[in-house]
Structure 1
């Protein structure tokens, strides 16, 4: 009986890859067949629609197994000269690297920012627009997590404790003048890593910690994500979503939560919108109005590129962060050591939430400030962005126009510099930042 789930997982993983591969082939075949010059003699729109369907289908299914490139554009310098951005690997580890966006011919910036990317189905390139928006004003580093399907089983496990250890190593390597910005899923683990450094190596602590839309206390405000985690038992989750990587990849035999399965759940959450977007794209291609760099391709080239997550990371996240509330109740342990968030005394902490966030609802992230019992009130700050959803608070219009300037101001205010720094909020922009004393439900919406 013990072999049945093993066989089920292996067949399921390869079956999904087979379905993806078949759809890519069908798209390529339809595109090629409908594009024969001979069919141009037949004035029937079906051939154009068939060719357009083929192009869109082939591209969509091929993107699912390709890691997107960073494609960071050149940064304009003060003299009007463009500065090329080089992506350099600073630290290499089995499950993720620390990468640096080095701006050529520019002196190191006084603001050093580590963007902690989520490990939740998509690559770190999901933060591309966030990186681009910060590069003119900061020296930027990012955690670049690897696809679990490409990591041999011999490299061992990777769970939330290992993830936290990685963050500690990255922060320690970058030094005490660092400003950490954790987006979504890694927010509770970035908080734990900061607490570990505060106790074990205070000189390596970052100056500031900004937590954006993270589930510090998932029970503070219910969403579909938290409801799903509470409804399912760990046994049900393991049986339904955990599979073995097939023989096609280096990580053959590794237990993972497959990226294709995650993508199916992402799309199911908003299936009507996605179906409409693809139908519109097919007809636009058929009319000859499609382009390589249109909004559809830009968005879906990233959205459809998914990565497998190690089974132990996914299951430990659900069990310990969402169900067990170990971070929310300050009971988290790493390698048998208790992590006390109250040990954070010198790191300024800032939480950012979106009023319309349906993944990490308002109240979940700001809970971090109550856990920082050893931190002075003037080092705590929170912001609720009106009208912003989950994506908007770190990569959309709300981030660009309001949140990014506020984050940079927060970093400058806690930089230790004696000189006052210029305000970077756009003229007329209103900061909806409130003192710690108000709860998220009391903030203006």
Structure 2
């Protein structure tokens, strides 16, 4: 499948379905149709509207849609999304709140590169913005990156995080959500060995596969059921001529989306048919619950082939992070070298993507970190999405994370050759 023809074939199918939806909506919406009322035409227009919207969203990067935030003074403050650091494969962006003093909590939110854009964490951003000076990694769609920019694998990803942490400074608190948790831990360990003063003050790892074998799930165990050759042959394609990244090997977003939907096909089919009925009855709206969810869920991005394959190979199959044998740029990364960065893990009891045990495994790897700088939390009844964006996050986890950040803020009381004095970490 490593050909442009297969990539273009998927894009052709998507474009055709988008066109069919738009055509059906137009036919069902002709004024002349209203002269002879027929539910079939209403249903046709509704099916067309939902279909066109669904397939057009698959290639559209969602907007952050965060325009203001209420400050401590009770006033709305305009939010600007500024690019703090620009790189070929991803930017560091800052949610700059106009007219508000810089907040004492400086937080770097590390977004996943797993098929969706960083906007998947929009609700997480909204919940943290009133209380934090917030930054986030904004990864780029690989289809839009020219081949001349070179490769991007797990080592490059880790070095990007290292650069972002250095840029923000040592008083930063890092929160990594899901997929980037192992590489964020590795980036912190890399700094511990190469530039200890640039390490963040704290690191919160949420639902990440530090040790995928600790409690295997269908998702994390996938890499053990296939060979790398099978993965490359079945998942990797070359970007077609339509995009700037023409010729680049990628794991296409449309292919990823088909896998996402297949996992819960019945649920998505029902949601689609129910929305068609709501539109036909005039009960739907532009920003209703269905559109709000699927505008984000269907918006997918391509990953570079080398990032996808090296993630499966090194994080899931060879378990280099779990075994503390990860190498970056020819240098062995020792997680035990982290001695003064407070680390907290967060897991959901019902997480079927990164099950309980996979993330908390990080604490056992931190052999050089005092126990009072380690913390963990298992959220009862919470699934994967809930621990960073759902009710569990808003009501329980977010307050705990902010408490953990506050308990580990302030200057490092450490000489150049000494290990930092441990501070008590919030549980």
For the pair 1:50 / 2:38, whether they are aligned, the reply is no
Distance 1:26 1:51 in 2: 11
In the TM superposition, residue 98 of structure 1 has moved relative to its aligned partner by 0.3
For the pair 1:171 / 2:173, whether they are aligned, the reply is no
Q: Is the 8 A contact 2:215 2:356 kept in 1?
A: yes
Q: Is the 8 A contact 2:171 2:410 kept in 1?
A: no
- Where do 4+ consecutive residues of structure 1 move more than 6 Å? none
Distance 2:72 2:142 in 1: 42
Distance 1:88 1:391 in 2: 27
Distance 1:417 1:88 in 2: 27
In the TM superposition, residue 374 of structure 1 has moved relative to its aligned partner by 0.1
From 348, 358, 370, the equivalent of 1:376 is 370
For the pair 1:289 / 2:283, whether they are aligned, the reply is yes
In the TM superposition, residue 55 of structure 1 has moved relative to its aligned partner by 0.3
For the pair 1:268 / 2:262, whether they are aligned, the reply is yes
CA root-mean-square deviation: 1.3
Give the equivalent residue in structure 2 for 1:441.
none
For the pair 1:218 / 2:212, whether they are aligned, the reply is yes
Q: Is the 8 A contact 1:344 1:372 kept in 2?
A: yes
From 150, 155, 173, the equivalent of 1:156 is 150
In the TM superposition, residue 42 of structure 1 has moved relative to its aligned partner by 1.5
In the TM superposition, residue 226 of structure 1 has moved relative to its aligned partner by 2.2
Distance 1:228 1:88 in 2: 38
Give the equivalent residue in structure 2 for 1:187.
181
Deviations 1:17-37 (A, max 9, x none): 000000000000000011001
For the pair 1:306 / 2:300, whether they are aligned, the reply is yes
In the TM superposition, residue 188 of structure 1 has moved relative to its aligned partner by 0.3
For the pair 1:98 / 2:101, whether they are aligned, the reply is no
From 354, 359, 367, the equivalent of 2:361 is 367
Deviations 1:383-442 (A, max 9, x none): 000111111100111101100000000000111379xxxxxxxxxxxxxx997xxxxxxx
Give the equivalent residue in structure 2 for 1:74.
68
Deviations 1:310-365 (A, max 9, x none): 00000000000000000000000001100000000010000000011111000000
Q: Is the 8 A contact 1:242 1:258 kept in 2?
A: yes
Give the equivalent residue in structure 1 for 2:226.
232
In the TM superposition, residue 74 of structure 1 has moved relative to its aligned partner by 1.2
Give the equivalent residue in structure 2 for 1:322.
316
In the TM superposition, residue 120 of structure 1 has moved relative to its aligned partner by 0.2
Distance 1:375 1:392 in 2: 29
Q: Is the 8 A contact 1:382 1:434 kept in 2?
A: no
Give the equivalent residue in structure 2 for 1:20.
14
Distance 2:45 2:191 in 1: 57
Distance 2:322 2:222 in 1: 18
Deviations 1:99-158 (A, max 9, x none): 000011001100000000000000000011100000011000000000000000000000
In the TM superposition, residue 44 of structure 1 has moved relative to its aligned partner by 1.2
In the TM superposition, residue 43 of structure 1 has moved relative to its aligned partner by 2.0
Q: Where in structure 1 are there 5+ consecutive unaligned residues?
A: 419-432, 436-445
In the TM superposition, residue 78 of structure 1 has moved relative to its aligned partner by 2.3
Q: Is the 8 A contact 2:90 2:140 kept in 1?
A: yes
Distance 1:25 1:57 in 2: 9
In the TM superposition, residue 73 of structure 1 has moved relative to its aligned partner by 3.6
Deviations 1:271-304 (A, max 9, x none): 1111111111000000001100100000000000
For the pair 1:278 / 2:272, whether they are aligned, the reply is yes
Q: How many matched pairs?
A: 415
| TM norm structure 2 | 0.96
Q: Is the 8 A contact 1:73 1:132 kept in 2?
A: no
Q: Where in structure 2 are there 5+ consecutive unaligned residues?
A: 413-424
